[in-house]
Amino acid sequence: MTTVSSPSLSAELEAPLLAVEATLNQLGDALARRDAGAIEQHAAELHQHLARAVQSFSEAARSGGVPAALRSRLVRAGGLLAAQRESLARGNASLDRALDVLIPSEPTGLYGAGGKAERRSLGGGSYTA
């Protein structure tokens, strides 16, 4: 398949792709700093920029093609996004494991939140004669 690229098409696709790349870099920096507010802000911006880029690239593909250089940059941006997503998922899993150790989900048989001893009942909680 041949791609027909015009300077105007390249310029139309360049702007949303630059926005995605810049926001991915900002998100990566925020993740490295562990800045929750910045992560949330850049993630929301990235969502908007990705939606615009996907729309622009889809329209370009339907009307004649996407220049190879821009296509490869979009693929690279997708790879970076996947790497950041994987890093975030690993961090969440690590945090979940740490919380499970610190805050057990089963009662320990010691004391409850109200200061009373917690007891496990084996037969359903009541006895009948």
Residue 107: phi and psi, rounded to 5, are -60, 140
Tens of pLDDT, residues 18-32: 999 999 999 999 988
HEC string of 17-71 equals HHHHHHHHHHHHHHHHHCCHHHHHHHHHHHHHHHHHHHHHHHHHHHCCCCCHHHH
Tens of pLDDT, residues 31-75: 889 898 999 999 999 999 999 999 999 998 888 888 889 989 999
- pTM, to two decimals: 0.67
Crossing angle for the helix pair 68-102 and 36-62, nearest 10 degrees?
Answer: 150
